[in-house]
Each structure stands twice: as structure tokens, then as C-alpha cells.
A and B are shown apart, each in its own frame.
Chain A
Amino acid sequence: EAQVTQNPRYLITVTGKKLTVTCSQNMNHEYMSWYRQDPGLGLRQIYYSMNVEVTDKGDVPEGYKVSRKEKRNFPLILESPSPNQTSLYFCASSPPARDFSYNEQFFGPGTRLTVL
């Protein structure tokens, strides 16, 4: 089954404790992206990747890191989480951005993160 998976789905942690949220897709998509979603603000892009070893900042990259060593995986790293990073996080993938006109993004199930 074609899908985007994220782990963990729920996480409660404390300020300053490094964490990683994994994202994996099995559709051979080149483009992957991380979003956070907060009430009233909609989806805001954190980082995106056009292909392996190519990553770029989105609208709200501060406090986050990503890596793209393999095509299928795109982990999100919070080196020193803070309470303002409490949010619902979505990973998404799609075929190449140049073909964006014809292909939607596929979203993972989401990770609800609480930082105390």
C-alpha cells in the first residue's frame, strides 16, 4: 500500500531533550516536506527536500533540522525542544516539484508533540 508513515504518533517530552520524528514513504517520491499545524494558522512549512541530499528552509525553520540521506526517509530533528514547538506535525511527499501541477501531496498521519 502506498503510504507515508510517521513515528511516533504521539510524544510528550520536556524542554531541551533532543528528539527525532521519523518519516518514510514507499512511493519513490523525490519531494518531501515537513509541516506544523497550529489552531487558526493552518499548515506552515518547516523544511522541504527536492531530492536526496537537497534540503531547504520553509517558512518556520527555526529550532528544527532535517536530513535526506535516502530517498524514502526524511527525519525531523528538534535539538532542544521548547514549549512553543508543541504542535501537530505532518510529513508529506509528492513526485518532483516540477510536476506539482499534476500531483498532489500525500500526507503522513501526523505526530502530536507536546513539549513541557
Chain B
Amino acid sequence: GQNIDQPTEMTATEGAIVQINCTYQTSGFNGLFWYQQHAGEAPTFLSYNVLDGLEEKGRFSSFLSRSKGYSYLLLKELQMKDSASYLCAAVDSNYQLIWGAGTKLIIKP
């Protein structure tokens, strides 16, 4: 079956760096998305990777290894407003999104 795994919750300190991991098993693969979701709000797009490697966007970077079925989201210089859930979603061979349950990130001062 198709499956996405990511940690349920992580805690980090303001100003620090945190890495949120995601592993996936899908029927075919057409890329991986990361979304941010603040409590009670809609998910918003952060990044998309389809090729191996690291993509950097300001304080946020996303990495993909297709051979390992693995991705991570790296958040640098953490701010209190980064407290949110981070959702990993892989695109399968039918171009359907397979969603992880999300990682709740708690930022402490």
C-alpha cells in the first residue's frame, strides 16, 4: 500500500534549526510537496521537489532522495510564527496526493 511517515511532534528553540523528516512508499512517484498549516487554518504551499537534492527558499529548504524514498524540510533561524504543523505529501503515478498525518512543530522561546 501507499504510506507516508513523519514524526507526530517536534520541539525546537527560537533561533535554532530543525529538520522534519518524511519517508514515503507510493505506487510511482511524481514529486513531493511540503505544506505548512497553522492550527485551524488551511494548508499553504512551502515547497515541491521532484529531483534529488536540496532546494532552498529563504529560511526554508527541502531535500529529496528518490532512491531512499526520503525527504526532509529544514527550517533555519526559527521564529515563534513557525509554530505550526508541517504536512508532507507525495504525488503517485496517477498524480494523486498521498498525505502524511503532519508534524506539529512547537517553538519555545
- Which residues of B line the A interface, CB within 8 A? 8, 30-31, 33, 35, 40-45, 48, 50, 87, 89, 91, 94-97, 99-102
Contact = CB atoms under 8 A, between A and B. Distances in A.
A50 to B, nearest CB: 9
A42 B87 contact: yes
Contacts, number: 52
A105 interface: yes
By secondary structure, the B interface counts as: loop
Contact of B42 (A42, A45, A90, A100): A90
A100 B50 CA distance: 11
B97 A45 contact: yes
By secondary structure, the A interface counts as: mixed
Given A101-B31, A101-B50, A90 B43 contact: yes
Contacts of B8: 40
Contacts of B45: 104-105
